[in-house]
Structure 1
Amino acid sequence: MSSDINSVELSVIVPVYNEELNIDYLFERLLSVLETLDTSYEIVCVNDGSKDNTLKCLIEHHHRNPVIKVVNLSRNFGKEVALSAGLDYATGAAVVPIDADLQDPPELIKELVEKWREGYDVVYATRRSRGEESWLKQMTANAFYKIIGKMSRVPIPRNTGDFRLLDRRVVEAIKQMPERTRFMKGLFAWVGFKQTSVLFDRPQRYKGTTTWNYWRLWNFAIDGITSFSFLPLKVWSYVGVTISLLSFLYATFLIYRTLLYGVDLPGYASIMVAILFLGGIQLVTLGIIGEYLSRVYEEVKGRPLYLVRDAYGFKNNGEEGIGNRD
C-alpha cells in the first residue's frame, strides 16, 4: 500500500472477475472522466481469481499508466471480499467502488465528487431504472429490498449497489469490521455518517455475461438478511407459542366434545397433517438456526479474509502474505 494516504485525493476500486472483454473500454471511459476532475487519483483493480486473460490485461495497462494499480488475489474469494481488499489498498481521501461491466457509468463519478465536496461523507448512486433486466429479476430485487427493509434495523437504500463515493473516515470505519460474511451494502449503511444519493439510469452490461445467477443471488440475499437481522431466529419463538396456544385450545375442544358426545374414532388424515405440519416447522427452524450457526463457525475459525498472490504499483509490502510487488 502507498505510504502516504494524503498523496491521492480520489481512489477508484474496480473488483474484476473474468472481465477481459471490458477492460480496455472501461479504462478508456474511466480515465477520460478522471482527467477532467483536476485532482490526483489512482485506480485500484482487484483481480478476484479470474480464469481468462484479465490479469494480463490489467498488468499491461499498469505498465502503460502507473495510476492503474493491480491487486491479484490468490483465488476467487467473491466480489464482497474483493471489494474489501480494494478498500484496504486504496489510499485516497475519497474512494469510489465501481463495477467493471460498465453498468455503473464512470461519467457519474464527477457528480459523486461534487456532492462529496459539498460536505457529504457517503454519496451512493441509486438506480432510477434497471436497464432491460427481466421482470423476474426486477420483482425479486424489489422483494428483497422490501423484506430486508422490514427486518433490519439498519435502513439499506433500495436499488443501490456498491457504486458510491466514500469519504476516508467512512473507509477507515468499514476497515474496522472484521466479519467474514460481508454484505457490503449493509456495512456501508451501518456506519452512518452524512449520506445522500444520486439517481441514474442503469445501462446494460457492455460485453460478456454476468456470473450472478439466481442461485448466487438467493445466497447473497440470505447473507444480507442474516448479517443484519435476528428476526428469522426470533420469529420461531412466537410461532411456537402460537402453535402451542392453538393446540391447547383444540385439546380443550376435544375434551369438551368427548365429555358431551363420547369418543370418536380418531382420524388418520388429521393426525398425519398435524405431524407433517409440525415436522416441517421444526425442519425450517433448524435450517434457519443452521444458517446462523454456519456463519458463527466461519467467524470463529479466524482465517484471513483474503490472500494476495502479487500486487503491482504499490510502494510498500504492508500486508502479511503478499507476494511480489514492483
Structure 2
Amino acid sequence: MDLSIVVPIYNEEENIPVLHSRISEALADTRLAYELILVDDGSADNSYSSLKVLAGKDSRVKVVKLRRNFGQTAAMAAGFDLASGRVVIPMDGDLQNDPLDIPLLLNKIDEGYDVVSGWRKDRKDTFINRKLPSMIANGFISKMTGVHLHDYGCTLKAYRREVLEDVNLYGEMHRFVPALAHQVGARVTEMPVRHHERLHGVSKYGISRTMKVILDLMTVTFLLSYSTKPIQLFGRWGIYTLCAGFLSGALTLYMKFFEHTSMNRNPLLILTAFLIFMGVQFIVMGLLAELVARTYYEAQGKPIYNIKEKVNFG
C-alpha cells in the first residue's frame, strides 16, 4: 500500500460524498495503491450511514465508527493505527483542505523528508476568532519546541508511516506530531497548501481550544526536553530554591545578631521556611518523575533512542 488517507468525521453528512469524489479525482492519474480511512467520531447526524454507502461502492474506502465523540486527536490516532500505507496523510472532512495537494505532499516526501506539514498560506477563515489566535499559537509553539512551522494547526500533513509508530497521541496533540517526530530525528519541512471556505455544516473549532493547546504545549515541551531526565528540570529548580532559602535564612540571622531585628517579626523567616520547603518538594518531584520515567520505558521495553537504519544485522 503506497498511501493511507485518514479523515476524522464529525457531523459532516453533506460533505462526505463530495470529499470522496475530490479525493478520487485527485489521485486518479497517480497510479498509487491507496486506502481512504474515514473515522466517524461519534457523529450525531447521518454521517455514518453515508460512510457505509461509500464503503459499499468503493473497496478502497474503509470506515471506522467510534463509540462516542472522543475528539479529533483520538479519531486521528485510530486511523493511524489502522493505516497500512507507507505514507499516511490526515486531512479534515470539511472540504477546506484540497485533495489536489496530496500528490504535491508525496513529491516532497520523495525528496527525503519524513514529515511534510501543510501551510494554509491563504487561509479562508475569520481573522479574530481563527487566524489571529492561530498566528500567536504557531509562533509560541515554534519557539517552545524549536521546530519552526507557520501552521501547526493545519491537519493536512504527510508522514512516513514509521515516524508515526514512535508517536503516541493524547489530548489535542495531533498538531504537535511534527515536533514529536523531530525529537526522534525525523526530517521535517512544510509547504503551502490550498485552503477553501467551508460550504456545509459548522466549524467545530473556536478560540476556546486555545487553553487546551497551551496545556498540551506544556506537556510536549516537557516530553521534548526532559522525558528521560526529569530530575534535570525539577532538581535544578529545587537547588535554586534551596539556595535562595539559605540566603534568606542567612540574611534573617544577620538581621537578628547585627541589627537586633526580632526573628518572629521578620517576614524573611517565613520566606526562608517556604523556599526550603519548596526546594525539597521540587527535588522529591524530580525523583518521583525519574521513577515514573524508568517504569514507563522499562516496563514496555521502550528504548530511549531511535534507530533509523541498520546494516548487516540480519
Q: Taking structure 2 as the reference length, what is the TM-score of the superposition?
A: 0.70
Which residue of structure 1 lines up, in the alignment, with residue 192 of structure 2? 199
CA-CA distance at 1:204 after TM superposition = 4.8
SS for the counterpart of 1:229 is helix
Correspondence 1:267 to 2:292: no
Over residues 174-233 of structure 1, what are the superposed CA-to-partner deviations in whole Å (9 max), with x where a residue is unaligned? 33x485648441444345455543123655555412156234334433443343332776
How many angstroms apart in 1 are the aligned matches of 2:11 and 2:298?
A: 31
Which residue of structure 1 lines up, in the alignment, with residue 203 of structure 2? 209
2:161 to 167, 171, 193: 171
1:108 to 80, 101, 111: 101
Q: Give 5+ residue unaligned stretches, structure 1.
A: 150-154, 303-326
1:249 to 247, 253, 263: 247
SS for the counterpart of 2:13 is coil
CA-CA distance at 1:45 after TM superposition = 0.8
Q: Give 5+ residue unaligned stretches, structure 2.
A: 301-314
8 Å Cα contact 1:124-1:197 kept in structure 2: yes
Which residue of structure 2 lines up, in the alignment, with residue 235 of structure 1? 233
Which residue of structure 2 lines up, in the alignment, with residue 313 of structure 1? none
Q: Give the 5 Å matches for 1:1-326.
A: 5=1, 9-128=2-121, 131=125, 132=127, 133-149=130-146, 155=147, 157=149, 159-160=151-152, 161-166=154-159, 170-175=160-165, 177=166, 179=168, 181=170, 183-184=173-174, 185=177, 186-200=179-193, 202-206=195-199, 207-211=201-205, 213-230=209-226, 234-264=232-262, 266-267=264-265
Alignment size in residue pairs = 286
How many angstroms apart in 1 are the aligned matches of 2:11 and 2:289?
A: 30
How many angstroms apart in 1 are the aligned matches of 2:261 and 2:10?
A: 69
Which residue of structure 1 lines up, in the alignment, with residue 306 of structure 2? none
How many angstroms apart in 2 are the aligned matches of 1:226 and 1:109?
A: 32
- Which structure has more relative contact order (CA 8 Å, sep 6+)? It is 1
- 1:227 maps to amino acid: L
1:296–1:226: structure 2 CA closer, same or farther, 3 Å change rule?
Answer: farther
Q: Taking structure 1 as the reference length, what is the TM-score of the superposition?
A: 0.68
CA-CA distance at 1:71 after TM superposition = 1.7
**Of 264-273 and 65-74, the range deviating more from structure 2:** 264-273
How many angstroms apart in 2 are the aligned matches of 1:129 and 1:275?
A: 56
CA-CA distance at 1:265 after TM superposition = 6.5
1:283–1:47: structure 2 CA closer, same or farther, 3 Å change rule?
Answer: farther
Over residues 254-291 of structure 1, what are the superposed CA-to-partner deviations in whole Å (9 max), with x where a residue is unaligned? 33333333243643755666677778888999999999
8 Å Cα contact 1:97-1:165 kept in structure 2: yes
How many angstroms apart in 1 are the aligned matches of 2:215 and 2:294?
A: 16
8 Å Cα contact 1:48-1:79 kept in structure 2: yes
**Of 47-56 and 19-28, the range deviating more from structure 2:** 19-28
Which residue of structure 2 lines up, in the alignment, with residue 318 of structure 1? none
1:43–1:291: structure 2 CA closer, same or farther, 3 Å change rule?
Answer: farther
How many angstroms apart in 2 are the aligned matches of 1:211 and 1:301?
A: 37
CA-CA distance at 1:56 after TM superposition = 1.3
1:218–1:294: structure 2 CA closer, same or farther, 3 Å change rule?
Answer: farther
1:68–1:273: structure 2 CA closer, same or farther, 3 Å change rule?
Answer: same
- 2:144 maps to amino acid: I
8 Å Cα contact 2:37-2:61 kept in structure 1: yes
Over residues 52-104 of structure 1, what are the superposed CA-to-partner deviations in whole Å (9 max), with x where a residue is unaligned? 32211211222233332212233344433332332333333433211212343
How many angstroms apart in 1 are the aligned matches of 2:259 and 2:216?
A: 56
8 Å Cα contact 2:252-2:268 kept in structure 1: no
